[in-house]
Amino acid sequence: NILRQILRLSSLFHSAVSIHVRRNIGLSAIVFNKTKELDPVQKLFLDKIREYNTKSKQAGGPVDAGPDFQKDMNESLARLQRAYGEGDLTKFPEFKFE
């Protein structure tokens, strides 16, 4: 009985790990495929990501964000500051443990 449960759990664990590995291999194959030519769709996708990254660094934030985006962002930050107090909500908090 215990042996059956162990075998069942090991098969469940094996199937979960194999699904996770297959997903990661599929994603990493796109990113780390430098030795052979990429599929045209994959190449277009990576080029668009790189282009957005460059534009984002130049703009210092979201690309092509209009005044409505900034207005919504300011309203959301004001609402969060009212709810959770003061502080810079655009940065990760610093924790000090004593």
Q: Does any domain span residue 83?
A: no
Report d(CA 17, CA 23) in Å as an integer.
10
Q: Does any domain span residue 86?
A: no
Q: Does any domain span residue 49?
A: yes
pLDDT tens for 18-44 read 665 555 555 566 566 554 577 888 888
Task: Grade residue 1 by pLDDT with cuts at 50, 70 and 90.
Answer: low
Number of folded domains that form the chain: 1
pLDDT value at residue 35: 47
Q: Does any domain span residue 54?
A: yes
Q: Does any domain span residue 98?
A: no
Report d(CA 53, CA 38) in Å as an integer.
20
Q: Does any domain span residue 10?
A: yes
Report d(CA 68, CA 72) in Å as an integer.
6
pTM over 0.75: no
Instruction: Give me the domain span that covers residue 27.
Output: 2-63
pLDDT tens for 34-89 read 545 778 888 889 899 999 888 888 887 777 778 888 888 888 888 888 887 777 77
Task: Grade residue 94 by pLDDT with cuts at 50, 70 and 90.
Answer: confident
